């Protein structure tokens, strides 16, 4: 892209989506292209996450939700899962600094109970110490699966029914949403998936009902502010009808 185009893109009055959801995919392919182990791709991918949090916060995005590890990713080799857990440990600490420096509130969605105790503590600390930050909310989806989230929500609703805290007749879409991990967070306006795969891979199944979807061939470790702005520019051309007629 020409420099002038880039500047125009940055300075133009783009309508910035309130909530951007990301499926960061392609770390393995990025590493393979370079003859490196898959874990090298994950390492570089973490650097890109850090940079994207800063870029998104500066652009005025209010919520950024990033899919970091799915309930299905446990199927990968012990080595790869182990390396991802080590990176997660390390980045939990780094993220605390980045969140503080950028006034970012961090929240985790997914089932954290399956992680090692120190990781759970790291997540708790990160959420607790950033909860009063008033800038962007950065949501990390780890050990997250849309079906798992809905299943846990249904279980909790049934428990509440049994204890007399909830009645079947009072269940509305809003009530269901309040039982999901994303309670209180608006639905994503824009979903960006890197690396070309056109599927949801069990991401935010309830919440993405009316999100605009953009798939880019860019591999996640190569993603940057320019790519983010390109996706937002495409989003700006979409006609969101929500089932109505314009
Ligand atoms: C995304 O990159 C990161 C995770 C899912 C943890 P991948 O590891 O899926 O990379 P590809 O799809 O094999 O290239
Ligand atoms: C989706 O990527 C999950 C995350 C990005 C964490 P995958 O690489 O696991 O998805 P599939 O296997 O291509 O559907
Ligand atoms: Mg993948």
pLDDT exceeds 60 at position 116: yes
220 lines ligand 2 (CB under 6 A): no
The ligand placed nearest to the CA atom of residue 69 is 2
Instruction: Give the percent of the chain with pLDDT over 70.
Output: 95
The mean of the pLDDT values for the chain is 95
Quick: pLDDT tens for 72-113: 999 999 999 999 999 999 999 999 999 999 999 999 999 999
Tell me which of 4 and 151 has the higher pLDDT. 151
By alpha-carbon position, which residue is closest to atom 1 of ligand 2?
Answer: 201
Residue ranges and CATH numbers for the domains of the chain are: 16-145+188-236 (3.40.1180.10)
pLDDT exceeds 60 at position 146: yes
Q: Judge whether 73 counts as a catalytic residue.
A: yes
pLDDT exceeds 90 at position 16: yes
Q: How confident is the model at residue 4 (pLDDT cuts 50, 70, 90)?
A: very low
The ligand placed nearest to the CA atom of residue 39 is 1
197 lines ligand 2 (CB under 6 A): yes
DSSP 139-158: EEEEEE-HHHHHHHHHHHHH
Task: Count how many Cα atoms sit within 13 Å of the Cα of residue 5 in the half-sphere of its side chain.
Answer: 7
The ligand placed nearest to the CA atom of residue 217 is 1
Q: Which of 52, 197, 201, 221 to mutate to test the pocket of ligand 2 (most atoms within 8 A of CB)?
A: 201
**Which residues are near ligand 1 (CB < 6 Å)?**
24-29, 69, 73, 84, 195
Ligand 2 atom at shortest distance from the alpha carbon of 141: 6
The reported pLDDT for the residue numbered 1 is: 43
DSSP 198-232: -S-TT-STTTTTT-EEEE--S-GGG--HHHHHHHH
The reported pLDDT for the residue numbered 240 is: 96
Q: CB-based contacts of 168: which residues, under 8 Å, 6+ apart? A: 161
Which one of 25, 55, 181, 189 is the catalytic residue? 25
Ligand 1 atom at shortest distance from the alpha carbon of 219: 14
Q: Helix (H, G, I), strand (E, B), or coil: what is residue 135?
A: coil
- Taking the centre of ligand 3 as the mean of its atom positions, its distance from the CA of residue 28, in whole angstroms, is 7
CA trace torsion 172, 143, 117, 153 (10° rounding): 10
Ligand 2 atom at shortest distance from the alpha carbon of 69: 6
Which one of 73, 102, 133, 202 is the catalytic residue? 73
How far apart CA 39 and CA 84 sit, in angstroms, is 8
Instruction: Give the percent of the chain with pLDDT over 90.
Output: 94
pLDDT exceeds 70 at position 2: no
Ligand 2 atom at shortest distance from the alpha carbon of 197: 13
């Amino acid at each position: 892209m020409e420099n002038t185009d880039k500047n125009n893109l940055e300075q133009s009055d783009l309508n910035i989506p309130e909530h951007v959801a990301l499926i960061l995919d392609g770390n393995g392919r990025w590493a393979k292209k370079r003859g490196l182990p898959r874990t090298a791709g994950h390492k570089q991918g973490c650097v890109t996450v850090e940079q994207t949090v800063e870029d998104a916060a500066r652009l005025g995005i209010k919520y950024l939700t990033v899919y970091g590890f799915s309930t299905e990713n446990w199927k990968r080799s012990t080595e790869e899962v182990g390396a991802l857990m080590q990176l997660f440990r390390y980045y939990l600490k780094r993220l605390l600094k980045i969140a503080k420096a950028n006034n970012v509130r961090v929240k985790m969605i997914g089932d954290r109970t399956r992680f090692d105790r120190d990781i759970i503590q790291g997540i708790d600390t990160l959420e607790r110490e950033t909860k009063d930050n008033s800038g962007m909310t950065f949501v990390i989806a780890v050990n997250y699966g849309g079906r798992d989230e809905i299943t846990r929500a249904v279980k909790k609703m049934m428990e509440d029914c049994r204890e007399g805290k909830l009645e079947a007749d009072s269940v509305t879409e809003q009530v269901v949403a309040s039982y999901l991990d994303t309670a209180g967070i608006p639905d994503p306006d824009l979903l960006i998936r890197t690396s070309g795969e056109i599927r949801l891979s069990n991401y935010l199944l309830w919440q993405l009902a009316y999100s605009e979807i953009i798939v880019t061939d860019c591999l996640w470790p190569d993603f940057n502010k320019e790519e983010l702005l390109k996706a937002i520019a495409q989003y700006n051309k979409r006609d969101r009808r929500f089932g109505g007629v314009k």
